[in-house]
Structure 1
Amino acid sequence: MLDNADACMALHDPLAEPMQCTRYRGLTLTSHFQPIFSIAHGRAVGYEGLVRARHDDGRPETPATLLALPNDGQQCLELDRTCRTLHMHNFARQASGQAWLFLNLNSQYLVTERPDIGFTRNLLQATGIPAHRLVIEIIESEVRDQAQLKQFIRYFRELGCLIAIDDFGAGHSNFDRIWDLEPDIVKIDRRLIQDASNSPRVGRILNGIVSLLHEAGSLVVIEGVESEHEALLAIAANADMVQGFYFAKPQPRLSDPQGVAEIFASLRRGQQWHSVKRHADLQHYSRGIEGLFQQALVEFAAHQQFVQSSTRLFSDPRTVRCYLLNEAGYQVSPNVYPLHYQQQLNRRFAPLQCGDHANWSHKHYHYRALKQPGVIQISRPYLSVADSRMCITLSQTVHAGGMLHVFCCDLDWQEQSRHCSAAEP
């Protein structure tokens, strides 16, 4: 229960209206706001309201301890409403332009307690905040009654609020609920960006998640960005917005930190540089074998002996397989492997290792070669279906026996994977 339902005045600022605080079980609760930045705009487009608690002697209390104080669902809902009321009043007291206010809503207790759904509508009227500037954050994995949750979401949407799914990628999150709830915004759990900073494989997964969420019609925020490297990964993943200590810590006052536009400009330049470097790395990695590749093409054009022509490429230890496609994309040769790689083939993928009559016309190395005939194409790293390993492919059109073919050579990328985490488009 609230010790004192009346808000107290705190954080006096002679240049701004004083902020509110409230009492709860011997603690003083105040609002802090953490900016959420648009990568494209280089500025804050929203602020997440976060509660801070202190004892009377000034000692801070952790949010986790505060949230553990209620004894039942009704008390949890009451604390949740207390925090939302505090944040909305403090947000309304400050100049915020058109920025959103992100508010966490304890959706599990909203569903189980089934309170009067007019609370948010009345709070919007009391604070004067337009409904379209309020983003309701829901942790979808904590709700068991999906139908009831959808009913509340429908109500918030009818009010004009936006819906955000929070902490996606943690716990039991799944895409089925994204398709079902159709959120306006999805906030990706901070653990994903942390793991992506240490693993190119997770980086590729993050890229794929962002792409899928965009296909579902949701904007994407990556939370917990705490370093330049993580910020660059978020930009590379094509996220729309970022949030984290690298850009700004939560503060009582709304603010766009000084120099943040320059930070984003620098990050965009850094991402462009990394893209150029990745391309240069690919060029450098394949440069030593391009001469052998051209010799193999000349030999194949002259004699139409594909296996014999491919053998020339096996003097380079990076070569893992060669194969020949026709103009329609059908594989017209078997996969040809060097002896050292045949011994490494994982027989678990045997059903995929025979390329006879397979069609690869949808693959980048085929259609790009046809688009630029006579020019060597170098793919970005991608996962080969033939052995479930990362590789890059050199490909080029070649005329032989009166027909147009695409000659392909795969190079192992395992040792290089730490340098490039981009998925092949």
Structure 2
Amino acid sequence: MPEGILNHPDLLTEGHGDLKPFFQPIVEVSSGKVTGYEALARFVRSDGTAVSAGYLFTDSRISIEDKKRLDRSVREQAIQKVHQLPEHTRMTLNISPQWLSVSSSKSLPTLDLLLKYGVDPRRVVVELVEMNGDLSCISQAVAKYRKAGIRIAIDDFGAGFSQFDRVIALEPDIIKLDMRLFQQGAQGGVAEYVVESLATLCTKSGAVIVCEGVETEEEFYFALRCGAHHMQGFLFSPATEEFVDREAFSHQVAVLRARFFEQQKEQFCKTRKQYQDLYRTVELISNQHKIMDQLDIEFVSTTLSHLDGIIRFYAAHPTGEQFTANYDYSKTTGVWIKGDRFKGYNWSWRPYFYQLFAGESTVLSPRYLDIDTTKPCKTLSLQITENIILMVDIEVY
């Protein structure tokens, strides 16, 4: 360990010990098998207990050169253990792009170490963390890694908007969603939609999605809804000094998958019934208005009040201009609340509006978060007379 590090007050507090790599398993959802192990730096105290050494690499009192020496020491120890990996697994090594950008050497230390210990680069994943280095230098390094056969991963995707240019430029094989954002998304609300959108972006880019920091069953289910291929976290195992068996979590994942299947099936049936009720209700409203020239607010409100999950209704002319108030339904009181705020607004630019004039009898919008109630909802639109377009916002489960 470098002399300057030994004098670091935090390490003195911990008591002298060793920096070692510990390995957290990465679990494949479809098979339940461990497909990789992320090497993480741990400070092992003299009494044998291990704590994360991550703080060393963010402490401004430690020079970049010292941090690089620390990191490479741990990385070299990890690379020496690649030969002990279970069959059909890879080792993930974290590398800071910032250190790549300040390097004056044309060679890459990781590639040199793989050559030194006779390690097949195809059994290694380089995970780029803290995406704040020079993109040109990073791209050159990534090209060298790829040429050698190493896969590239981006860590903490979603933690900063600057990462979007990294995804475009580097075309990573693996994208890890930001752990804090992922855990927040699992709680619902706006963060849920943000994470789902990021996951969709990852999928469209052709990258494998990994969710890390998975600690609860609810987070496991949320990761599945996001389309995660792999997961890691305390739900399965912390980082350990030795590699856990590939089949260690197969049964656990199988049970969780089965529970998720049942939950989703039940949810789908509930949603399908809700939509069936919705379509029957609006068909009744449409039939009632075939011989009318104006909207019967009382009939519409009375008919819709029996519908599960109703939020509001309003009506517009075929030109898109809303000519009625918003009628919001209060579940608590069972009363319709009239609001003129959006009267006169034009919705012709909304897909669920103009699609009606392309031959569709009714149009149901994609799911979105309602601004007023912050609930996930969809808007159904239908033309009930030549001059009246009815729009109904309904909560989705």
TM-score where L is the length of structure 1: 0.74
Return the alpha-carbon distance in structure 1 between the equivalents of residues 147 and 354 of structure 2: 43
Which of 275, 280, 285 aligns to 1:296? It is 285
What is the CA deviation profile of residues 42-95 of structure 1, one whole-angstrom value per residue up to 9, with x for unaligned ones?
211111011222233445454135434984222222112111111111232x24
* Secondary structure class of the residue paired with 2:313: strand
Which of 67, 83, 87 aligns to 2:78? It is 87
Contact 2:327-2:338 within 8 A present in 1 as well: yes
Other-structure match for 2:226: 237
Answer yes or no: is 1:77 the counterpart of 2:63: no
* Secondary structure class of the residue paired with 2:152: strand
Return the alpha-carbon distance in structure 2 between the equivalents of residues 284 and 172 of structure 1: 40
Which of 296, 311, 321 aligns to 2:313? It is 321
Aligned residue pairs, count: 373
Return the alpha-carbon distance in structure 2 between the equivalents of residues 63 and 186 of structure 1: 23
Contact 1:139-1:165 within 8 A present in 2 as well: yes
Cα distance, 1:185–1:406 mapped onto 2, change above 3 Å: farther
Which of 312, 336, 342 aligns to 2:299? It is 312
Cα distance, 1:118–1:378 mapped onto 2, change above 3 Å: closer
Cα distance, 1:176–1:342 mapped onto 2, change above 3 Å: farther
Cα distance, 1:207–1:61 mapped onto 2, change above 3 Å: closer
Which of 168, 173, 197 aligns to 2:157? It is 168
Cα distance, 1:247–1:387 mapped onto 2, change above 3 Å: closer
Contact 1:53-1:66 within 8 A present in 2 as well: no
What is the CA deviation profile of residues 366-418 of structure 1, one whole-angstrom value per residue up to 9, with x for unaligned ones?
99x95xx7xx88777434799997433446798x78xxx997542342xx6xx
Return the alpha-carbon distance in structure 2 between the equivalents of residues 387 and 70 of structure 1: 48
Which of 136, 147, 154 aligns to 2:136? It is 147
Return the alpha-carbon distance in structure 2 between the equivalents of residues 91 and 262 of structure 1: 26
Other-structure match for 1:48: 38
Other-structure match for 2:333: none
Other-structure match for 2:11: none
Contact 1:379-1:394 within 8 A present in 2 as well: yes
Other-structure match for 2:199: 210
Return the alpha-carbon distance in structure 1 between the equivalents of residues 108 and 349 of structure 2: 63
Other-structure match for 1:131: 121
Contact 1:73-1:112 within 8 A present in 2 as well: no
Which of 260, 282, 288 aligns to 1:271? It is 260
Cα distance, 1:129–1:192 mapped onto 2, change above 3 Å: same
One-letter code aligned to 2:24: Q
One-letter code aligned to 1:154: A
Moved more, 313-322 or 122-131: 313-322
One-letter code aligned to 1:307: L
Return the alpha-carbon distance in structure 1 between the equivalents of residues 375 and 237 of structure 2: 39
Other-structure match for 1:423: none
* Secondary structure class of the residue paired with 2:287: helix
Other-structure match for 1:410: 392
Percent identity of equivalent pairs: 23
Cα distance, 1:411–1:81 mapped onto 2, change above 3 Å: same
One-letter code aligned to 2:301: F
Contact 1:165-1:185 within 8 A present in 2 as well: yes
Structure 2: unaligned runs, 5 residues or longer: 4-14, 329-335
Return the alpha-carbon distance in structure 2 between the equivalents of residues 306 and 257 of structure 1: 68
Instruction: Calculate the aligned-residue CA RMSD, in Å.
Output: 3.8
Structure 1: unaligned runs, 5 residues or longer: 4-24, 421-425
Shift of 1:100: 1.4
* Secondary structure class of the residue paired with 2:19: strand
Alignment of 1:10-409 (within 5 A): 26-58=16-48, 60-67=50-57, 68=59, 71-92=62-83, 94-143=84-133, 145-171=134-160, 173-256=162-245, 260-283=249-272, 285=274, 292-301=281-290, 303=291, 305=293, 307-308=295-296, 311-315=298-302, 316-317=304-305, 318=310, 320-322=312-314, 334=322, 336-339=324-327, 343-344=338-339, 353-356=345-348, 360=352, 370=360, 381-383=367-369, 390-394=376-380, 409=391
One-letter code aligned to 1:32: F
Cα distance, 1:306–1:186 mapped onto 2, change above 3 Å: farther
Cα distance, 1:96–1:343 mapped onto 2, change above 3 Å: same
Cα distance, 1:126–1:69 mapped onto 2, change above 3 Å: farther
Return the alpha-carbon distance in structure 1 between the equivalents of residues 240 and 21 of structure 2: 8
Contact 1:36-1:242 within 8 A present in 2 as well: yes
